[in-house]
Structure 1
Amino acid sequence: MLYSLVEMNRAAMAPLRLQAKAATAFWTSSANPARETQVGRSIAAAASVFERATRFYGKPEWQIEATEIEGRTHAVTPVTAWSSPWCQLVHFETAGAPEGRPDLIIVAPLSGHYATLLRGTVEAFLPTHNVYITDWTDARMAPVWFGRFDLDDYIDHVRDMLGFLGAGAHVLAVCQPGPPVLAAISMMAEDGDEALPATMTFMGSPIDARRSPTVPNQLAEERSLDWFRSKMIHTVPLPWAGAGRRVYPGFIQLSSFMHMNWDRHVDAQHRFFEHLIEGDEDGAEKHQTFYDEYLSVLDLTEEFYIQTIERVFQKALLARGEYRYRDARRVRPQAIRDVGLMTVEGELDDISGIGQTQAAHDLCTNIPARLKEDYVQPGVGHYGVFNGSKFRAEIVPRVIKFQKHVTKS
């Protein structure tokens, strides 16, 4: 019912959004003599803020057109290298790039936002790597005949994509994928899989969510699975392709994140309003760029969401050594012996607290110390672990240095 109400509200707001767009066009038109007046700018700014706050944000484009390698600019084209109904492995083909760059697969989180949230992560590694990223399917766009998609299916997808790339690739798991990626590589190591990666790097991941619990961790522990099913799971309505599918809607995840930092988001809207009035195009554009991405969300299948809550946050099965793939095979991280392990955390992370990602070192007991590295980035929160100036200047060089160290060992 909630999903249908949200869609009805969006439809009801459509005429008002059209009026706001018309008002913006009128008061910013070069033919309007009042457009440079305080009144004209204020009305245009208010209309623009309203229109953007009430619009539907679809899946963003990658908007990565070029990268610089060794002082030369190379065109970049995102193409699908591998796919299933639930994921596309996007390869950023770089025209004329030097041969020999190592493969890097960035495993994007399936936790409410699209993979394009990691646009900055991709851009940072393009000069040095042959970059791939997982682009997960929005459950509201997945017809019911696609079937289920759960946490173990996610693990299968990671294994399949690593098999597609072949031996020696580097894996970078950002946030949510940490546990399933570690599980996939653990089973690959135990099976003697030839496609085993050279390194695995976990960034802000809840490998052991019991450590330094944050607000999302505490919520997951305090509520029962029945509560999550009754309050967080809804049915996709028509006209979406996934009509009838039970999902955890992205708009619920988005509202949860926004309420964690409500004052900050309100201040951002106020500053955006002021930028528009003052004619500060750079400031307004930065706001629009960030929120165009941040407000674009996707849905998760019921089974994936509920299993993640139970297995990762409530029971911490992987951290306890009790995770069983398909409820049968026990996952053993200690089976990994010659894959480099790096963990990266943010000092101010309010999503994955300090120690949650570091826990991977305690689980991978048979990886020698020379193939391990742990790094905590001062002065950044969750987003800063994989994006922003400190990420580019301090984290990326450390990750690259670690990868080179491992491959030379």
Structure 2
Amino acid sequence: MFYQLYEMNHAALQPARAYADAIRLLYSSPLNPFSHTELGRSVAAMAELFERSTRRYGKPEFGLKTTTVDWKTVEVSEKVVWKRPFCNLIHFERALPADRQADRKLLIVAPISGHYATLLRGTVEAMLPHADVYITDWADARMVPVTDGKFDLDDYIDYLIDIFHTLGPDVQVMAVCQPSVPVLAAVALMEARGDRLVPATMTLMGGPIDTRRNPTAVNQLAEERGIDWFRENVIMQVPWPAPGFMRDVYPGFLQLSGFMSMNLDRHIIAHKDFFMHLVKNDGDSAEKHRDFYDEYLAVMDLTAEFYLQTVETVFVRHALPKGEMTHRGEKVDPAAIRSVALLTVEGQNDDISGVGQTRAAHDLCVNIPDNMRAHYLQPAVGHYGVFNGSRFRSEIVPRILDFQASYGRSRKRSTPRLVS
């Protein structure tokens, strides 16, 4: 009933949101003399804060229309090249000359963690000048009818293997946060089966490979509560009239509440600063706030079976590092990986995936040659900074590009130029 109550409250506030938006328009209109006063801007700011705090944020757009390749601006268009009920594979197709040598294919695997794949907009934007980029665009479970079936961690791994087969040989894969585990599992299964379409390299960034190392508050909560607590307290049914009516899900608004509560003071200060920027007519700073929270507050539901299986496998049982993880009865053995180069990236201040949790992949992939592996710890960044922001662009991206260029199968492999 909690999900239904949430929807009812949201609907009940619709008239108040409409009134607040009308007040905002009235007191921000240049035709209104009060809009040029501090009092008028304060009224408009209060109205906008209320409206933004109570609205539901829809799925954002990537909005990447151009990029720079070979010092020239080229157009970018999004195309869905692979489609399943719970995922679309988006290709960011660049308008390049037909006679230009093709760049390596890069698959960015976005997390299913409550936010849309557009959270990685900055990641895609940074890689577009250097690679032929694809990204997994996961569906909001509340929008998928129950007739389309279930989606769990095993299905996730199946999707990845199918995508690797679709993209063909010599693909570079980059997993951001949560997908580090299923990507590693998919590659291990493909190597064990002798699959020739296994990726050339995999880059794991801020992922929970072994959450027993330097556990964070998120890791400790999962282990202390146990899977039964999550099943009884956070799994709800999608209410009518959403397309996924009656589907069991982990609602996105619960995930968002958890994330915001971890840094509540920071969010309160950010909204107070936003109010003051509006009052002082500081348009640039206010717009940066809108851009960030338009993305951050846009959340999606996760299927119950995927959420519960992931929590139990990764955070409660620690099945992968213990050698107990299976996929449809087949053992997942990272030691089977021999021909895929491995790069792990962590943030020094990461409060979601603690330092050492991603690097643990090297201890599991014991048969990858030493000259085909590298680790990088980025100083002074948190979880978000591992895949976005100025330090990501200036310090992490060059290392990823160098690693991928060195180990693509179409290129001669050399000694790593990265250091831990």
Whether TM-score is above 0.5 comes out as: yes
**Partner residue, 1:34:** 34
- The one-letter code matched in structure 1 to 2:291 is T
**Partner residue, 2:200:** 198
Query: 1:376, 1:370 → 2: CA distance?
Result: 18
- The one-letter code matched in structure 1 to 2:396 is I
**Partner residue, 2:358:** 357
**Partner residue, 2:349:** 348
Residue 161 (structure 2) pairs with residue 159 (structure 1): yes
Cα distance, 1:189 vs. partner?
0.7
- SS of 1:288's partner is helix
Match of 2:229 among 224, 227, 230: 227
> Across the two proteins, how many residue pairs are aligned to each other?
408
**Partner residue, 1:20:** 20
Cα distance, 1:372 vs. partner?
0.2
Query: 1:241, 1:169 → 2: CA distance?
Result: 35
**Partner residue, 1:287:** 289
Residue 68 (structure 2) pairs with residue 68 (structure 1): yes
- SS of 1:200's partner is strand
> Does the CA contact (< 8 Å) of 1:207 and 1:356 recur in 2?
yes
User: Displaced runs of 4+ in structure 1, greater than 4 A?
Assistant: none
- The one-letter code matched in structure 2 to 1:360 is A
Superposition pairs of residues 203-222 of structure 1, within 5 angstroms? 203-222=205-224
**Partner residue, 1:402:** 403
Query: 1:19, 1:39 → 2: CA distance?
Result: 18
**Partner residue, 2:256:** 254
The one-character-per-residue Cα deviations of 1:153-191 (angstroms, maximum 9, x if unpaired) are 000000000110011010000000011110000011111
Q: Which moved more, 1:388-397 or 1:186-195?
A: 186-195
- The one-letter code matched in structure 1 to 2:145 is P
Superposition pairs of residues 71-90 of structure 1, within 5 angstroms? 71-90=71-90
Superposition pairs of residues 242-391 of structure 1, within 5 angstroms? 242-326=244-328, 328-391=329-392
- SS of 1:355's partner is coil
- SS of 2:34's partner is coil
> Does the CA contact (< 8 Å) of 2:83 and 2:89 recur in 1?
yes
Cα distance, 1:99 vs. partner?
3.1
Query: 2:180, 2:168 → 1: CA distance?
Result: 20
Query: 2:117, 2:249 → 1: CA distance?
Result: 19
- The one-letter code matched in structure 1 to 2:67 is T
Query: 1:50, 1:68 → 2: CA distance?
Result: 39
The one-character-per-residue Cα deviations of 1:106-142 (angstroms, maximum 9, x if unpaired) are 0000010000000000000000000000001111001
> Does the CA contact (< 8 Å) of 1:166 and 1:194 recur in 2?
no
> Does the CA contact (< 8 Å) of 2:227 and 2:316 recur in 1?
no
- The one-letter code matched in structure 2 to 1:22 is A
Identical counterparts, % of pairs:
57
Query: 1:222, 1:34 → 2: CA distance?
Result: 55
- The one-letter code matched in structure 1 to 2:357 is Q
The one-character-per-residue Cα deviations of 1:283-313 (angstroms, maximum 9, x if unpaired) are 0110000000000000011100000110000
> Does the CA contact (< 8 Å) of 2:38 and 2:280 recur in 1?
no
Cα distance, 1:195 vs. partner?
1.0
Query: 1:34, 1:399 → 2: CA distance?
Result: 53
Cα distance, 1:224 vs. partner?
2.2
The one-character-per-residue Cα deviations of 1:305-342 (angstroms, maximum 9, x if unpaired) are 0001100001111111111111x111111111111100
Residue 101 (structure 2) pairs with residue 122 (structure 1): no
- The one-letter code matched in structure 2 to 1:27 is Y
**Partner residue, 1:135:** 137
- The one-letter code matched in structure 1 to 2:208 is P
Query: 2:64, 2:226 → 1: CA distance?
Result: 42
- The one-letter code matched in structure 2 to 1:368 is P
- The one-letter code matched in structure 2 to 1:212 is N
**Partner residue, 2:418:** none
> Does the CA contact (< 8 Å) of 1:90 and 1:132 recur in 2?
yes
RMSD in angstroms over aligned alpha carbons? 0.7
Superposition pairs of residues 84-99 of structure 1, within 5 angstroms? 84-96=84-96, 98-99=100-101
- The one-letter code matched in structure 1 to 2:78 is P
The one-character-per-residue Cα deviations of 1:213-254 (angstroms, maximum 9, x if unpaired) are 000100000012221011110010011000000000000000
Cα distance, 1:86 vs. partner?
1.0
- The one-letter code matched in structure 2 to 1:338 is S
**Partner residue, 2:48:** 48
**Partner residue, 1:5:** 5
Cα distance, 1:29 vs. partner?
1.0
- The one-letter code matched in structure 1 to 2:116 is Y
Match of 1:186 among 188, 207, 210: 188
Query: 2:257, 2:276 → 1: CA distance?
Result: 24
Query: 2:227, 2:82 → 1: CA distance?
Result: 34
Query: 1:360, 1:29 → 2: CA distance?
Result: 56
> Does the CA contact (< 8 Å) of 2:62 and 2:118 recur in 1?
yes
Query: 1:94, 1:54 → 2: CA distance?
Result: 38
Query: 1:44, 1:401 → 2: CA distance?
Result: 49
> Does the CA contact (< 8 Å) of 2:235 and 2:251 recur in 1?
yes
Query: 2:333, 2:347 → 1: CA distance?
Result: 27
- The one-letter code matched in structure 2 to 1:281 is G
Cα distance, 1:70 vs. partner?
1.4
Query: 1:32, 1:116 → 2: CA distance?
Result: 37
Query: 1:146, 1:72 → 2: CA distance?
Result: 44
> Does the CA contact (< 8 Å) of 1:108 and 1:135 recur in 2?
yes
The one-character-per-residue Cα deviations of 1:67-118 (angstroms, maximum 9, x if unpaired) are 0111100111111010111100000011125432000000000010000000
Q: Gaps spanning 5+ residues in structure 2: where?
A: 414-420
- SS of 1:240's partner is coil
